[in-house]
Amino acid sequence: MAKLKLGVLGSGSGSNMQSIVDAIEAGELDATVEIVLADVPEAKILDRARKHGIKAQFLDCSPWKTKLADAAEDECIRILKENACDTVVLAGFMRIVKPKLLAAFPNRVLNIHPALLPAFPGVHSWTQALDYGCKVAGVTVHFVDAGTDSGPIIVQRTVPVMEDDTPETLHARIQVEEHIAYPEALRLLAAGRLRIEGRRVRIGQ
């Protein structure tokens, strides 16, 4: 398989992007990060990328707060294609990805979600898990489809919920597993081991 050429979209600190870059630099993931785009001009993810010599830039996604405007979607696709990206990684990108971007990168847009999907889609899922009384929480890496956190599941990792957990302590332990799960899913993709069959992702040898 050819080396993955990743375009990363983010909104915040970029810790998941960092885990991917660390795996690449350690020789554990056959990929390159070609560009990082953030919809927040001061997002830390941009600084993290630049420290590793990765091209990074702000993508103006106004006027909407939760989705890409049409012009922003077109610009995002143009930039990703211009930088020869073949796979799009959503790393804390707080906007809904629209069909045009998904069509531009069919079955090559991945997202990470801090819950064991299909349970607790949407925001603050760790708080949802606590409020529901779950004994186990976790993280999911999935392919993105037109729904919200509803695409075919690639990798899941579990996290026990402790009796004295707060949303902050549970979220912190989930993040540890996120930083393992995302590089793991990308390694499977890079090795050509993922096959989507309807709602299921089969992992081959």
Question: Strand 87-91 to strand 153-160: parallel, antiparallel, or no bridges (unpaired)?
Answer: unpaired
Residue 151 token pair:
């695409």
Residue 65 token pair:
């707060």
Catalytic (active site) residue 113: yes
**Residue 14 and residue 178 in contact, taking contact as beta carbons nearer than 8 Å:** no
Q: What whole-number distance in Å separates Cα of residue 26 and Cα of residue 68?
A: 34
Residues β-bridged to residue 32: 5
Residue 130 token pair:
């606590």
Q: What whole-number distance in Å separates Cα of residue 97 and Cα of residue 145?
A: 8
Q: Where are the beta strands (DSSP E) in the chain?
A: 4-10, 31-38, 56-58, 87-91, 109-113, 136-143, 153-160, 194-197, 200-203
| Cβ neighbours, 10 Å, residue 105 | 19
Q: What whole-number distance in Å separates Cα of residue 46 and Cα of residue 169?
A: 26
Residue 159 token pair:
């996290």
Residue of 113, 142, 171, 179 marked active site:
113
User: Catalytic residue numbers?
Assistant: 113
